[in-house]
């Protein structure tokens, strides 16, 4: 059994914008708590948390990582999440495994785009929030001004607990107002008094006692503050400098004393898989847990990070996966610690653990006691918006590609892959081009799969705007039986979305009935290949109304070929057009970028449908051709400095302007000529 109980566990995830010092703070906590024998460094590639080769190369977090340290008898499970939206799925996983989100803010940089996003994400998931102002030794730090900005942006519940002694390079200590009131710099006097009162508001009785001049004991505060943090009644603000080793030990003490334990939040709710009845699983009930992160690796097979919600998980019991309805033996069980996990034999409710070699254990899966099944809700991950077409370089790469992509997609819910039915291209999709670059690097490193990439083809479609007739006589004599088939057909457009309609109007046996199916097949195959641009034909009716045959030379293939050529003949006469895919785009940006964004959308042939607001952010909804936003991620990032985001969903198909269609048709015909 563990040396600590559920009440002693503190689970928290460090989130915020990139370069706000999250990983450095996490490494410093391990070192100060003697869990690590040296201070890890991101820049030097020695961080406990940033241990993957891609992270060491880029000197920044890509994956959610976890390690633990024991402070004052409390087990601190520290999760460190990436700070850039390219890898925001990792932060979502981390937030769903903890009681507290620690929002890190660069003391000089202030509130940035991912600071806001992570605040909103933590609020959405429903975890408590604590703010840590990092890098207090940076130049141009103005603590009081930053606190005012934090409270204006995130609410009056935000209250500083640590106050700095000196700022910037002169930062040399902190005052914790929960422990002492003397030594406070005079410029913070009013703010400190207001903050102290706010912290006492965690409990009505404590507040009255404080306002009446009584002394609130540390024990009283330690009982009330964790629950107040858990429900968002108060958001403490701490400050640190890892470089100067100031505030780190005090932050760890604050975590141990005042962060919510798993017992300070309501038990996890799930459903009974068969009856769908709600279940509230008590901490001392049967085993239940959820996978919040999984890793597919050809060397260790499946590695899963599991948060235990009830019962006890031991390393010698089968792990029952509720989704697939079967249990598997655990290959190994560890407390995560970067790339050097520590063996454990059992963990209690509330704890976090890694298990290995458990097949088919994916992110969001529920594991439980098979006699007492429960299913926990899956997490909501952001939708991948950026795609690339990939092709294996060799036959060996082709053989490994599909299975490798399946493993990577099961590990990363923000990575998807699929084969486009129309273009036949294999597409991979992620949060950004950087995200896909990392995926491709790992595909090569971990699975030895090499691919080439290119922008996806736009899935245009062909149709006609008018009615026309077509005819072809296929006649070939080459000794013995020849080939003969003649087809007359009428072609006309049908309403958008109707698809293909085939009509047999043959009378008087002009074409024997056994040749009608080959005629339809010839038309359908031609539609699949396209007539003018190599894209699928849609929304047409082909009516076969006349033809002729030969008693000896006619056969299915002759009529199939004649029908194909008659269809092409009619199609080219019937005012053919290209249809382009139209999507609905929702762009979310700070209000100051509204004019730039709407102007840019209009220049891309977009049509604004409406606008809405969500706090300080503005949401612009528009329809826009898919071909106009293939590079939109890069453009939006450039215009908004990374503060904008967007989502896309398919809408309809509309005729492509003739000037654009001509170029696509010419390119297709040139490619066709090159193949001949």
Cα 215 off chain centre by = 48
Q: What is the third-level CATH fold of 269-368?
A: Elongation Factor Tu (Ef-tu); domain 3 (2.40.30)
> Which pLDDT value is given to residue 435?
94
Q: How many CA atoms lie within 13 A of 238 on its CB side?
A: 24
User: Residues in the chain, how many?
Assistant: 676
Structural domain boundaries of the chain? 6-264, 269-368, 386-454, 461-574, 579-659
* 338-393 pLDDT per residue, tens: 888 899 999 999 999 999 888 788 899 999 999 999 999 999 999 898 999 999 99
* Secondary-structure class of domain 461-574 per CATH: alpha beta
Q: Which residues sit opposite 38 in a β-bridge?
A: none
> Which pLDDT value is given to residue 242?
96
**Common-topology check for domains 386-454 and 579-659:** yes
Q: Give every CB contact of residue 461 below 8 A, 6+ residues apart in sequence.
A: 422, 535, 536, 537, 538, 578, 579, 653
> Which pLDDT value is given to residue 530?
94
Distance, first Cα to last Cα, the chain:
73
* 593-651 pLDDT per residue, tens: 999 999 999 999 999 999 998 777 899 999 999 999 998 988 998 999 888 888 888 99
Q: Can you list the alpha helix ranges (DSSP code H) found in 486-608?
A: 516-529, 556-573, 594-603
Q: What is the third-level CATH fold of 386-454?
A: Alpha-Beta Plaits (3.30.70)
* 75-103 pLDDT per residue, tens: 999 999 999 888 999 999 999 999 999 99
Residue 85: C-alpha distances to residues 39, 61, 252, 374, 434 (Å): 27, 11, 27, 32, 10
* 583-603 pLDDT per residue, tens: 999 998 888 999 999 999 999
Q: What percent of the chain has pLDDT over 90?
A: 72
Architecture of domain 579-659: 2-Layer Sandwich (3.30)
Q: Give every CB contact of residue 513 below 8 A, 6+ residues apart in sequence.
A: none
Q: How many CA atoms lie within 13 A of 99 on its CB side?
A: 31
Segments in the chain below pLDDT 50: 1, 676
* 307-345 pLDDT per residue, tens: 999 999 998 888 899 998 888 888 889 999 988 889 999
Instruction: Please name the residue that has the structure tokens 């269809």.
Output: 567
Q: What is the CATH number of domain 6-264?
A: 3.40.50.300
């Amino acid at each position: 059994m563990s040396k600590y109980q559920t009440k002693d566990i503190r689970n928290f995830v460090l989130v915020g914008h990139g370069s706000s010092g999250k990983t450095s703070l996490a490494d410093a906590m391990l070192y100060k708590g003697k869990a690590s024998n040296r201070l890890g460094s991101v820049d030097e590639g020695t961080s406990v948390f940033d241990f993957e080769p891609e992270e060491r190369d880029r000197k920044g977090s890509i994956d959610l990582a976890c390690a633990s340290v024991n402070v004052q008898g409390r087990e601190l499970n520290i999760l460190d999440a990436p700070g850039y939206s390219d890898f925001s799925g990792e932060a979502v996983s981390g937030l769903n495994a903890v009681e507290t989100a620690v929002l890190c803010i660069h003391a000089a940089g202030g509130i940035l785009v991912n600071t806001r996003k992570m605040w909103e994400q933590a609020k959405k998931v429903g975890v408590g929030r604590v703010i840590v102002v990092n890098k207090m030794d940076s130049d141009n730090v103005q603590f009081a001004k930053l606190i005012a900005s934090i409270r204006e942006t995130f609410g009056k519940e935000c209250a500083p607990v640590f106050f700095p002694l000196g700022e910037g390079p002169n930062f040399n200590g902190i005052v914790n107002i929960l422990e002492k009131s003397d030594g406070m710099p005079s410029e913070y006097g009013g703010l400190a008094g207001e903050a102290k009162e706010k912290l006492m508001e965690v409990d009505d009785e404590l507040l009255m006692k404080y306002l009446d001049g009584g002394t609130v004991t540390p024990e009283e505060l330690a009982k009330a503050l964790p629950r107040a943090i858990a429900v968002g009644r108060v958001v403490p603000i701490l400050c640190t400098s890892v470089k100067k080793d100031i505030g780190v030990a005090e932050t760890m003490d604050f975590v141990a004393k005042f962060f919510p334990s798993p017992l300070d939040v309501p038990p996890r709710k799930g459903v009974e898989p068969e009856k769908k009845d709600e279940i509230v699983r008590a901490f001392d009930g049967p085993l239940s847990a959820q996978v919040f992160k999984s890793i597919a690796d050809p060397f260790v097979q499946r590695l899963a990070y599991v948060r235990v919600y009830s019962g006890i998980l031991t390393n010698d019991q089968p792990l029952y996966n509720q989704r697939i309805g079967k249990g598997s033996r655990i290959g190994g069980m560890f407390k995560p610690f970067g790339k050097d996990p520590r063996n454990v034999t059992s963990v209690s409710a509330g704890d976090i653990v890694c298990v290995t070699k458990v097949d088919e254990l994916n992110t969001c899966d529920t594991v439980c006691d098979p006699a007492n099944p429960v299913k926990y809700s899956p997490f909501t991950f952001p939708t991948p918006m950026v795609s690339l077409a990939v092709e294996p370089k060799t036959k060996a790469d082709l053989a490994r590609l599909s299975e490798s992509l399946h493993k990577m997609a099961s590990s990363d819910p923000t990575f998807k892959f699929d084969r486009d039915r129309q273009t036949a291209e294999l597409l991979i999709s992620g949060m950004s081009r950087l995200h896909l670059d990392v995926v491709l690097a790992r595909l090569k490193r971990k699975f030895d799969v090499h691919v080439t990439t290119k922008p996806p083809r736009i899935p245009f479609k062909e149709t006609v705007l008018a009615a026309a007739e077509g005819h072809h006589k296929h006649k070939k004599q080459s000794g013995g039986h020849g080939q003969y088939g003649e087809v007359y057909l009428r072609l006309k457009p049908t309403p958008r979305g109707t698809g293909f309609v085939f009509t047999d109007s043959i009378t008087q046996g002009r074409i024997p009935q056994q040749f009608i199916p080959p005629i339809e097949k010839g038309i359908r195959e031609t539609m699949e290949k396209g007539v003018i641009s190599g894209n699928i034909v849609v929304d047409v009716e082909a009516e076969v109304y006349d033809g002729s045959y030969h008693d000896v030379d006619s056969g299915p293939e002759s009529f199939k070929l004649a029908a194909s050529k008659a269809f092409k003949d009619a199609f080219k006469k019937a005012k053919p057009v290209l249809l382009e895919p139209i999507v609905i785009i929702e762009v979310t940006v700070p209000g100051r970028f509204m004019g730039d964004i709407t102007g840019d959308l209009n220049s891309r042939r977009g049509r604004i449908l409406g606008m809405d607001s969500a706090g300080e952010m503005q949401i612009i909804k528009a329809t826009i051709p898919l071909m106009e936003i293939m590079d939109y991620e890069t453009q939006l990032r450039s215009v908004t400095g990374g503060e904008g985001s967007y989502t896309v969903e398919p809408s309809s198909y509309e005729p492509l302007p003739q000037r654009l269609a001509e170029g696509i048709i010419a390119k297709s015909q040139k490619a066709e000529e090159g193949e001949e």
